[in-house]
Chain A
């Protein structure tokens, strides 16, 4: 039971209002109603602010490869949550649950989940806001 409650708390913590987590409004760039699952290979990781970005080559049924530009939180937020610049590596096979950019480009916000081939999830979790609702 305690385990289940822990899961719930973790879930609630992560689901903190999206607009506070970035230096721009999530809603202004991404569509929370357009989730997408992408499977492919990591080609680049930019461990930078204001957002960490990584790029994934995704091959469709016809063999056509598309490079996706995927956004994470900031270096600072991910670092405080315990992640590092080597948590994801070039060549890693990943499954990404993301939310599409509103402008139709091959960009998405990867806040859903990033799962490695062995099932481990990286960059998941709530930024340590100290439990205080930041006022955007």
Chain B
């Protein structure tokens, strides 16, 4: 099955693409042209990297992003669940959150809230899928002993050198990791490592540990790009979501080799 939509579009799309490139609009937010050398990582007054800004990309558990030598190995029950999933039931298609670390093709914004004495929170604001947000506690508090399961879980952050390490537990089991329906349980524990390597780039490494669904932890390496000329826009997914009743078929493509 053709999961990707590449070759058939290339020829037909060439001319429209040119038209887009040549039109002008005050609302257009075109990607910045590549720069020869990016500016250095900006920093907060306390010396920690400043991660604030509008970003595009990153996240997900795609196999192509797996750290070398790692594999996504489903436990039998999780595989059974994944094989049973239908695309129409994907929470994302139903305008529900995508959890962690699945992302949408929309920008997101990191917001740091340093006070005069310390960093208190980091918020991640999502334009898609439903205008939701994550909050990451930076004040050193521990996870609660028995948190109510939620879509984004309970996140605490700390600095390891210039890398922000975000530890999250307390997830519900409702969101899917991808269109294919990779599942997880409430035992999910994620460790994310965010490193702004220069003004333009945020490296985002995610370790997924879920003994209820996967035989062993695995780590994916992704990166997002800062888009300093962009702003977040309103995106109300439920306004006109007429798609779900027309979506057919299993989440996982027949013949897919993904685990």
Contacts and interface: CB of A to CB of B under 8 A. Distances in A.
Nearest to A9: B17
A80 B29 contact: yes
Given A10-B14, A27-B253, A121-B15, A130 B237 contact: no
A32 B8 contact: yes
Interface in B83-134: 87-88, 90, 92-93, 95, 102-106, 127-129
B92 to A, nearest CB: 6
A36 interface: no
Contacts of A90: none
Interface in B220-259: 222-225, 227, 230, 233, 235-237, 239-244, 246-249, 251, 253
Contacts of B186: none
A110 to B, nearest CB: 12
B246 A11 contact: no
B31 A11 contact: no
Interface residues of B, number: 75
A114 B7 CA distance: 19
A65 interface: no
A84 B242 CA distance: 21
Interface in A29-46: 29, 32-33, 35, 46
Given A79-B233, A82-B24, A130-B225, A32 B2 contact: yes
A97 interface: yes
A10 to B, nearest CB: 3
Interface string B59-78: 11110010000000000000
A52 to B, nearest CB: 9
A19 B3 contact: yes
A101 B249 CA distance: 12
B19 interface: yes
Given A102-B248, A102-B249, A130-B227, A28 B88 contact: yes
Nearest to A15: B9
A124 B5 contact: no
B190 to A, nearest CB: 14
Interface in A11-61: 11-29, 32-33, 35, 46, 48-51, 53
B9 A14 contact: yes
B179 interface: yes
Q: Name, among A8, A29, A84, the residue most crowded by chain B CB atoms within 10 Å (CB to CB).
A: A29
Given A50-B239, A132-B225, A135-B65, 12 more contacts: A14-B10, A28-B247, A29-B246, A29-B247, A71-B243, A79-B29, A84-B25, A111-B9, A125-B16, A128-B31, A128-B56, A132-B224
B168 to A, nearest CB: 18
Contacts of B11: 11
Contacts of A107: 246
